[in-house]
Amino acid sequence: MKTDTLDEQIAAWRKALLRSDAVTDADADELEEHLRDQASDLAAAGLTDDEAFLIAVRRIGQVDAVTAEYAREHGDRLWKQLVTPGRSSDGSTRQSVGVMIAFAAVAIVVLHSARLLAMGGYSDTRFLDEPIQPWFGRSFSLFVLPVLGAYFAYTRRSSLARVGVIAAATIALGIAINVFPYSSDSSSEVIVSLHLPFLLWFLMGALYVRDLRSSSERMDFVRFTGEWVIYVLLIVIGGGVLLSLTSLVLAPIMPDAIGEIFVWVMPAGGAAAVIVAAWLVEAKKSMIENLAPVLTAIFTPLFAALLLVAAVGYAALRPEDFNRELLAGFDVLMIIVVALVVYGISARPSDRAPGVMDVLRLVAVVAAILLDVIVLILMFARVGDLGLTPNRVAALGLNIVLLVNLIGTAWFSARHLGGAPIVHLERWQTGYLPVFAGWLALVVVALPPAFLFG
């Protein structure tokens, strides 16, 4: 029994070592041999297996220190990992390059098939300067994100029951938003198109998280989301540069081909980027984790300063011209603040004492609360003058949902600065995710009929 326990501890220690791309199997074999020798000597001296293991690990070095040392000594391995297939910690091939390419190809085929079906006939809707049926625009995310969900289900071995529930919900959403009798120039149709991708993201997240009740696994999905966004942006920037140079090179010799290339390559690249980014996050997890927290640390103080200036300015000047574009801008600002806070705490070591970043995060949250309250007052005044519309209801609801989240965040952040564990704040954020999903579902499914699809 004791030997089994020691073997399990050593296996877990080895698995943690191999999460770093700087450590090879041969390195792990050598370190494991040293660890076993140390533990064996200590056990022979009369220590229990647990005591022998802990002392042996301390003598060799904690996992983080060992992997950091290997990264310094073998930095070339990290760079070489950029062009080699990722390694699953359990040795599975489900996250191989071949699997990623297959799912990316499916996403491309589904998107282009839908585009070809939606072409033809008169329509004011345009996609890359081509007339296209309106259902394509409102359903755009349905052609890609369910494929990402299927990728999650395959690579993370989701249960068939859960896959069935998510598939049924996705199909029901697709049917609902396309049978609604939208009026011409319908605001609710635009709102559905804007909110559906985020609702689908939460749905697909249910296939990423193995235990839906686990706060730590929900936080893993938050970490995945932040890193996925970074990778998608990098791929989009790279793809934009490539297409621009392609256009420049072909202009003198094949000018008529440029339009066709854009029509076929841009959607394909976007669809593939969704899957490729997901694969990269999992395959290169140890590298991007060093980048995302740095970006969060840079932008949190800057957004805190922006929010403070905006809160003081709006409280003092009370602007009357509070139009739809400004309202949308504030919604985006609030969402970014919440995202910075959530990602900041997700990347923060849970055992670290409160520091400057925690104070800055609380300042940003308090400033965001003040600004959100001011914005809500102005919005209610506008609703009193002009009445309710789908846009105003969607914006009001989102601001209220964000305000409640921010108030809870400020409360738990203040308690953390007073010495309470950070886990309370983490649980508040992960427990609040269903509230965001629920609001999105209401907007997509209930708002159009509530306003007679106008």
Q: Which of 280, 343, 340, 334 is nearest to 310 (CA)?
A: 334
Which pLDDT value is given to residue 1? Answer: 43
What pLDDT, on a 0 to 100 scale, did the predictor assign at position 43? 81
Exposure pattern of 2-18 as b/e (b: 16+ CB <10 Å)?
A: eeeebeebbeebbebbb
pLDDT score at 105: 96
Do you know the residue count of the chain?
454
Residue 350 pLDDT more than 60?
A: yes
Q: Among 35-39, 65-69, 282-286, 354-358, whose mean pLDDT is lowest?
A: 65-69
- Written as one string, the DSSP assignment of 313-361 is HHHHH--S---HHHHHHHHHHHHHHHHHHHHHHHTS-TTSPP-HHHHHH
- Encoded tokens for 85: 């297939």
pLDDT tens, residue by residue, 209-222 = 988 888 888 888 98
Q: 130: which strand partners?
A: 127
Under the banding of pLDDT at 50, 70 and 90, the label for residue 312 is: confident
DSSP type of residue 283: H
Distance CA 190, CA 50 (A): 60
Are 276 and 100 within 8 A, CB to CB?
yes
- 286: Cβ contacts below 8 Å, ≥ 6 apart: 19, 20, 21
When the pLDDT of each residue in the chain is averaged and rounded to a whole number, the result is: 83
pLDDT at 441 over 50: yes
H or E, element range at 8: helix 2-17
DSSP 199: H
Q: What pLDDT is stored for residue 290 in this prediction?
A: 57
Spatial CB neighbours of 337, under 8 Å, sequence gap ≥ 6: 303, 307, 364, 365, 368, 406
- At 83, the pLDDT band (50, 70, 90 cuts) reads very low
Please give the residue that has the higher pLDDT: either 1 or 397.
397
Residue 141 has pLDDT above 80, yes or no: yes
> What is the pLDDT averaged over residues 76-97?
57
Report the distance separating Cα 232 and Cα 82, nearest Å: 16
pLDDT-based confidence at 137, cuts 50/70/90? confident
Give me the residues paired with residue 119 across strands.
132
On the question of pLDDT at 164 being above 50, the answer is yes
Instruction: Give the CA count within 13 Å in the CB-facing half-sphere of 72.
Output: 5
Whether the pLDDT of residue 334 is over 50: the answer is yes
- Per residue in 240-268, pLDDT (tens digit) is 888 888 888 888 888 888 888 888 999 99
CA distances (Å), origin 163, targets 158, 203, 253: 7, 10, 49
Identify which of 13-22, 388-397, 399-408 has the greatest average pLDDT.
Answer: 399-408
DSSP string, 217-274: HHHHHHHHHHHHHHHHHHHHHHHHHHHHHHHHHHTTT-HHHHHHHHHHHHHHHHHHHH
pTM above 0.95, yes or no: no
Q: How far apart are CA 409 and CA 411, in angstroms?
A: 5
| 126 bridge partner residues | 131
Q: How confident is the model at residue 203 (pLDDT cuts 50, 70, 90)?
A: very high
More confident residue, 212 or 77: 212
Token couple for 30: 């050598």
- Tokens 């914005």 belong to residue: 375
Q: Which of 47-56, 422-431, 439-448 has the lowest mean pLDDT?
A: 47-56
Q: What is the DSSP string of 61-129?
A: --HHHHHHHHHHHTHHHHHHGGGS----TT--STTSHHHHHHHHHHHHHHHHHHHHHHBSS--S-EETT
> For 130, which DSSP code?
E
Range 20-24, long-range pairs (CB < 8 A, 24+ positions): 20/67, 20/70, 20/71, 20/286, 21/77, 21/78, 21/81, 21/87, 21/284, 21/286, 21/287, 22/67, 22/70, 22/71, 22/74, 22/75, 22/77, 22/78, 23/66, 23/67, 23/70, 24/77
Q: Higher-confidence residue: 145 or 184?
A: 145
Mean pLDDT of 297-324: 77
| pLDDT exceeds 70 at position 205 | yes
Q: Does pLDDT of 91 surpass 60?
A: no
Beta pairing class for 130-131 and 126-127: antiparallel
- C-alpha angle 372-376-379 in degrees, rounded to nearest 5: 135
| Tokens describing residue 77 | 């391995």
